[in-house]
């Protein structure tokens, strides 16, 4: 299992990213998004499928360090 957080510019980008993670990368598990200050959106992913850090870094958006 791998968990990560990505911050994106819009709700539409979040929906697109969730679809991409499921379809292109085969991610299963929990994903949820919420609006944050400045009109940005934060996508939290708890993937049952292990993804390499290099794969996560290639995703659009800014990866957030949660301190975990």
What is the CATH architecture assignment of 2-64? 2-Layer Sandwich (3.30)
Partner residues linked to 28 by β-bridges = none
Higher-pLDDT residue of 2, 67 = 2
Say if residues 34 and 42 touch (Cβ distance below 8 Å).
yes
C-alpha to C-alpha distances, 12 to 25, 50, 61, nearest whole angstrom: 19, 25, 12
The 10 Å Cβ neighbour count of residue 56 is: 16
Partner residues linked to 34 by β-bridges = 42
30-63 per-position pLDDT tens digit: 999 999 988 999 999 999 999 888 888 888 887 7
4-28 per-position pLDDT tens digit: 999 999 999 999 999 999 999 999 9
Upper half-sphere CA count for residue 26 (Cβ side, 13 Å): 3
* Domain spans in the chain, listed from the N-terminal domain onward: 2-64
């Amino acid at each position: 299992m791998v968990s990560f957080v990505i911050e994106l510019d819009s709700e539409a980008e979040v929906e697109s990213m969730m679809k991409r993670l499921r379809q292109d990368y085969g991610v299963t598990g929990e994903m949820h998004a919420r609006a944050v200050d400045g009109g940005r959106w934060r996508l939290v992913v708890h993937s049952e499928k292990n993804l390499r850090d290099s794969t996560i870094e290639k995703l659009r958006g800014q990866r957030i360090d949660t301190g975990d």
